[in-house]
Amino acid sequence: MSAITTPRVRRGTVRTGITLSRRAGMVFVLPALALFSIFIAYPLLTALSYSFFDWTGIVRGGFVGVENYVTLFTRLPYRDDLPNAFVHNLLLFVGAMVFQNTIGLGLATLLHRIGRFKRFFQTMYTLPYLVSPLVIGYLWSLMLSPLFGPVNAVLRGIGLGELAQPWLGNPQTAIWVVVVVTAWQWIGFPVLLYGAALGGIPQEIDEAASIDGASAWQRFRAITLPMLLPAIGTVSVLTFIGAMEAFPIPYALGGSQGNPAGATDVMSLLFYRTAFESGSSNAIGTSSAIATLLFLFIFGISMLITWFMRRTERKLF
């Protein structure tokens, strides 16, 4: 297909203008920079430095180089738990992209077209997001209880009794429960974000295409989707970070050990266990190494996604 660049459509993104001098820019950035440096950069860098030391409880011992990292790959339980948890984080990301973001985009697009009940629907979809994730996780674990949970009761009630099962007790289903519950809670996020982005698309183009006889799907593919790319990029990066740092929902659904038998274990749980539950005196060293690895991975991949999205955008316009 042909790509036709119309300056009218994408004025801003193509030429990010320079209208601020360096000094004026600095003044604008300064308050944020100060706050960020003191409360994020400094503690973060300090925490990363912890991973290169040997610890006795909360007292720092000598510099040990990468020994804590070596521990992660050679010693139990880390050499088993780390890859296991990491794969689950990736599953969470893939699951979120598939369920949460496509359904979210679909809902946002449909909502964008309808007039009536729009705010009502937006509110409905966003409600789960408002509830604390810990509460959500807890709520679902009660609902999925094989003994007292209404989910299995409903399945039996509508004649789908054979589908009823110990959702959180079966390693095959447990991780998917985490994926689906997370997606269920977060769906309002893409709905609102895509909603805002759709609102930013000039209506005239869509109308013109409509008059020219383009079907809804054609218009979506040819106009809406490309113009949503920056928003999709944003949502993807945020989803990725969210999936990598997932904590409260897996914690509420599977406990800090990622029950059953590590089936719902994720990186943050591994960090949490190591830092606060292991009883190891070098807990800070080892857990900081986990967090550092996680951070570097998230950082690298997010950069990659951003770069990929920017390149696609540039190709398009």
Partner 1 sequence: MTATITPDTSTDDSTDRGGTAPSRRAGRRATVGGVASSTFLWLYAAISIAPLLLMLSNSLRTTQDMAKQPLGLPLPPNFTSYGKAWITASFDTYFFNSIFVTVASVLLSTAVSLLAAYAFARTRSKLFTTLEGVFLSGLMLPVYLAILPLFFMLDAAGMISNLWGLILVYGALGIPFSTFVLASFFRQLPIELDEAARLDGAGPFTTFWRVHLPLVRPAIATVIVFRFVPVWNDFFYPLILIRDQSSYTLPVGITRFFGEYQTDWATLFAGLTLATIPLVVLFLLATKQIVSGLTAGMSK
Partner 2 sequence: MRRRILTTTALLAGSALLLSACAPSAASGDGAEEGDQVTLKVWSWRTEDVEAYNTIFDVFEEQHPNITVEFEAFQNTEYNQILTTGLAGSDGPDVPMVRAYGQLQPNIEAGQLEPIDGKVDGLDEIAPSVIAGAKGKADGKTYAVPLATQTLQMFYNKAIFDEHGLEVPNTWDEFIEVNEKLLAAGVTPMALGAKDDWILPIFADIIGSARYGGSEFEEKVLAGETDFTDPDYVASLELVTQVQKYLTPDVVGVSYTDSQIQFTSGQAAQFPGGSFEIATFRNQAPDLEFGSYQVPLPDGAVLDAPVSPAYADGNFAVNTKSTHQDEAFELLNWLATPEFGQLVADELNQFSAIPGVEYEDEVMKEAWANYEDGQAPYLLLVDFRYGEPLGTAVLGAEVQKMFLGQTDAAAAAASLQAGISQWFTPGE
Residues 196-235 that bind partner 1 (CB under 8 A): 196, 198-200, 202-203, 205, 208-210, 212-216, 218-219, 221-223, 225-226, 230, 234
Q: Report what 70 binds from partner 2, partner 1, none; CB cut-off 5-8 Å by kind.
A: none
Listed in sequence order, the residues at least 6 apart from 249 whose beta carbon sits closer than 8 Å to its beta carbon are 133, 134, 136, 137, 178, 181, 182, 185
Q: Which of residues 77 and 202 has its CB atom nearest to partner 2 in the complex?
A: 77
How many residues contact partner 2, by CB under 8 A? Answer: 47
Q: How far is CA 287 from CA 60, 81, 85, 100, 292, in A?
A: 14, 13, 14, 30, 9
Is 13 one of the binding residues for partner 1 (CB under 8 A)? yes
Interface pick for partner 2 out of 260, 302, 305, 317 (rule CB under 8 A): 260
Q: Report what 307 binds from partner 2, partner 1, none; CB cut-off 5-8 Å by kind.
A: partner 2
The minimum distance between CB 67 and partner 1, in angstroms, equals 19
Is 77 one of the binding residues for partner 2 (CB under 8 A)? yes
Q: Report what 158 binds from partner 2, partner 1, none; CB cut-off 5-8 Å by kind.
A: none
Is 193 one of the binding residues for partner 1 (CB under 8 A)? yes
Candidate ranges 19-27, 61-69, 82-90, 91-99; the one touching partner 1 (CB under 8 A): 19-27
Residue with tokens 């203008």: 17
Determine if the peptide bond prior to 77 is cis (ω within 30°).
yes
Candidate ranges 24-32, 40-48, 93-101, 211-219; the one touching partner 2 (CB under 8 A): 40-48
Site for partner 2, rule CB under 8 A: 45-46, 48-50, 52, 56-60, 63, 75-77, 141, 144-148, 165-171, 255-257, 259-262, 275-281, 283, 299-300, 303, 307
